[in-house]
Amino acid sequence: MAERELLEWHRSARRDLPWRRTRDPWAVLVSEVMLQQTQVARVRERWPAWMERWPTPAALAAAERSDVVRAWRGLGYNRRAVALHRAAAAIAAGGWPGDLTELPGVGRYTADAVRRFALDEPVLPVDVNVGRVLERTGADFGPPAAEALMDLGATVCLARVPRCESCPLAPRCPARGRTFAPVRRQSRFEGSFRQRRAQTLRAVMDGRPDPHAGEPGVRGSLERDGLL
């Protein structure tokens, strides 16, 4: 019952995202890595150009890592760009592994997303949005509802103040009308080690002096992550 209602809602509420128009495993993998802790609107802008530049794993594997990191600028944690570059090299050298979590930077959710959206395998990828809907509703959903669950969690069943009045599952949802405290507060960025890492990386990429040259731990952490 719940899944049928959700799918009916999704026919008109489905988000039009460019990576949903392809079943190419590489294209789907790139989108999922980009979407990790990065806003959908930003990925929607950047994904097409990335795929045009590096349409295959072999194309990205042949690129200089410095070019890959520069192209990633603005998409969040640069370590993900390095992991994607390494994953491309692994695929180009040995093909797609049977277990996608063997690829650098690919966890259970990302592997399941590629299996579902590219390979049409009967798995339900559970990201933060999907997990929230499952927990609040207590309902059972199958793999065909994957995209609908993601869209519901991203646009209606929000983390703190859900839009229950717009939810197709509200009539039988035990969490209807509730608001929720934030799960955790992100640490302050201003003045943090993360900010100093970002400043050093930008300076190196732009050919400017390192503003934190006197703090070797900053550059050392970037080197350990394969960014320098």
Q: Where are the alpha helices (DSSP H) in the chain?
A: 2-13, 25-35, 40-53, 57-61, 65-72, 79-94, 108-117, 128-137, 146-155, 193-206, 216-224
DSSP-derived letter for residue 130 is H
Quick one: residue 175, left, alpha or beta (phi over 0 = left, psi -120 to 50 = alpha)?
alpha
Topology of domain 1-14+123-185 in CATH is: Endonuclease Iii, domain 2 (1.10.1670)
Query: Domain extents for the chain?
Result: 1-14+123-185, 24-117, 193-224
Q: Which of 94-108, 137-151, 172-186 has the lowest mean pLDDT?
A: 172-186
**CA-wise closest residue to 176 among 143, 146, 139:** 139
Confidence of residue 184 (pLDDT cuts 50, 70, 90): low
CA dihedral 104, 107, 108, 110 (to 10 degrees): -90
CA dihedral 104, 88, 74, 194 (to 10 degrees): 30
Residue 46 has pLDDT above 70, yes or no: yes
Confidence of residue 215 (pLDDT cuts 50, 70, 90): confident
Active site (annotated) includes residue 32: yes
Q: Give exposure, 85-108, as e/b (b: 16+ Cβ within 10 Å).
A: bbbbbbbeeeebeeebeebbbbee
The residue among 103 and 1 whose pLDDT is bigger is 103
Residue 195 has pLDDT above 90, yes or no: no
Residues 24-117: name the CATH superfamily. Hypothetical protein; domain 2 (1.10.340.30)
Confidence of residue 186 (pLDDT cuts 50, 70, 90): low
The tokens 């979590």 sit on which residue?
A: 101
Burial label for 192, CB within 10 Å (0-12, 13-18, 19+), is exposed
The residue among 204 and 34 whose pLDDT is bigger is 34
- pTM over cut 0.75: yes
Query: What is the end-to-end Cα distance of the chain in Å, rounded?
Result: 53
Q: What is the Cα–Cα distance from 85 to 65, expressed in whole angstroms?
A: 7
Tokens at residue 186, please?
Answer: 């992100």
Q: Which of 3, 8, 32, 215 is catalytic?
A: 32
The tokens 């997990």 sit on which residue?
A: 131
